[in-house]
Amino acid sequence: MSEKRYLLTPGPTPVPPEVLAAISQPVVHHRGPDFKPVYERTLARLREVFLTERDVLLFAAAGTGAMESAVANLCSAGERVLVVSAGHFGERWRAIAAAYGAEVETLEYAWGEIPAAEDVAARLQELGGAKAVFLTHSETSTGVVCDLQALAGAVNDHGAISVVDAVSSLGAVPLETDAWGVDVVVSGSQKALMTPPGLAMVSVSERAWAGRGESPRFYFDWERTRKGQSTLDAPFTPPVSLVAGLDVALGILLDQGLEAVFDRHIRLGRACREGAKAMGLELFSPDDDRSAVVTAIRAPDGIDATELVRGLRDRFGITIANGQSTLKGKIFRIGHIGYFDVFDITTALAAVELVLADLGAEIERGAAVTRALEAFEERARV
């Protein structure tokens, strides 16, 4: 294997060197003056990135832990909830809600389809309402980013609590928590927030707070963490090193400005899609500026995506992602979330082109990189 590594998956994502430097500082005590200002600033920066006035609760966990916190705090056994699912992470909502004994209704789409607000409204109408509706903002398994504002609006119209998995979208594409009335937003450190995995966070609206239920919970109990954060005294020893890294990463993100960051992601997605098309590949993701998180591409006829992924890894130290579940071998996915610029895209495309050609695929040589650079330069239209 090549010695140099290129992490071009939809998560974990590359971490800026300043962030790595911050997490490698000597450990400090979590109740002392070396940590409290870092903790306070991190929590404030999270509110800025979440675009909310409410507390953002921070947990040592994978993103799934914060997803579970939403189910455990909101759903009592037997309560009806609706899960909107169009991929791997929608399925995860269903599995967690089922584990808590909720009466789980689903609005299911084929993987790769884009959930629509009208469908959500119709399903809620049909059901006569639901306590909560679980949504996936960016479905990392397919590259689809939904129109969350519209979906959350439909949920609100029916008096339900909207709960959104924004693990791969927050900080990459617009998500206006308070302005759009999204009740619960879940995210993680290891995607657009440019920090190693191990931190998860969740924002909770007043309505969701008032709608908390009776399921057993302790570590993920919202009240316990909110109370601790209110005096900067976390209820359990926080992962001080990762928090120090997140603080630096959020500072980088906010220095760039959310609008500039969203614009860059749109242009990265466009560059990736245009480059892929220029070599004759067919997109699996929608060919749409909203899908700016990960680009899913169909393997050419007769080519197994698993072979492509392995070739990139073994020959060049480049990691991209295979399809998940039934899409394994059929699609491959290039992530462009967080600490990415256009030369990460051209690296991915150049290597994909070479390995596909060597695998015998009929693809256009020499066009992808140039087209990607050109597409990246066009101003974002969104």
Contact in structure between 300 and 361 (CB atoms under 8 Å): yes
Q: Does 14 bind a second copy (CB under 8 A)?
A: yes
For a second copy, give the closer residue by CB, 223 or 378: 223
Does 313 help bind a second copy (rule: CB under 8 A)? yes
State the nearest-atom distance from the C-beta of 287 to a second copy, in Å. 27
3-state secondary structure of 274: helix
Question: What does 43-54 look like in DSSP terms, one character per residue?
Answer: HHHHHHHHT-SS
Q: How far apart are CA 249 and CA 255, in angstroms?
A: 10
Q: Residue 285, interface with a second copy (CB under 8 A)?
A: no
Q: Which stretch binds a second copy (CB under 8 A): 37-45, 55-63, 257-265, 283-291?
A: 55-63
Stretch that binds a second copy, among 40-48, 81-89, 121-129, 213-221 (CB under 8 A): 213-221
Least distance in Å: CB of 11 to a second copy?
Answer: 7
Residue 95 in contact with residue 71, Cβ under 8 Å?
Answer: no
The yes or no reply on residue 250 touching a second copy (CB under 8 A) is no
Q: Which stretch binds a second copy (CB under 8 A): 94-102, 125-133, 326-334, 369-377?
A: 94-102
Residue 325 or 370 with smaller CB distance to a second copy: 325
Listed residue (69, 59, 67) closest to 216, CA to CA: 69
Q: Which long-range contacts (CB under 8 A, 24 or more apart) does 30-36 make?
A: 30/234, 30/237, 30/238, 30/240, 31/233, 35/240, 35/243, 36/232
Give the nearer residue to a second copy in terms of CB position, either 206 or 218. 218
Cβ-contact 100, 129 below 8 angstroms: no
Site mask, a second copy, residues 223-242, x = CB under 8 A?
Answer: ------------xxxxxxxx
Q: In this structure, which amino acid lies at residue 203?
A: S
Neighbours of 24 (CB within 10 A): 10
Give the residue, chosen from 90, 112, 115, 198, that forms a contact with a second copy under the rule CB under 8 A: 198
Contact flag: residue 57 with a second copy (CB under 8 A): no
ω into 196 cis (within 30 of 0): no
| Residue 180: CB minimum distance to a second copy, A | 27
How many residues contact a second copy, by CB under 8 A? 59
CB of 37 to a second copy, least distance (A): 12
Count of other CB atoms within 10 angstroms of residue 231: 8
Retrieve residue 61's tokens.
């966990």
Site for a second copy in 24-43 (CB under 8 A): 24-30, 32-34
- The alpha-carbon radius of gyration of the chain (Å, integer) is 21
Sign of CA dihedral 339, 341, 345, 351: negative
- Give whichever of 52 and 322 is closer to a second copy, judged by the CB atom: 322
Q: Looking at 83, 96, 144, 266, which residue binds a second copy (CB under 8 A)?
A: 96
What's the gap between Cα 149 and its chain centre? 16
Does position 101 interact with a second copy (CB under 8 A)? The reply is yes
Residues in touch with a second copy (CB under 8 A): 1, 5, 7, 9, 11-15, 20-21, 23-30, 32-34, 60-65, 68, 71-72, 77, 95-96, 99-101, 188, 190, 196-198, 215-221, 235-242, 313, 319
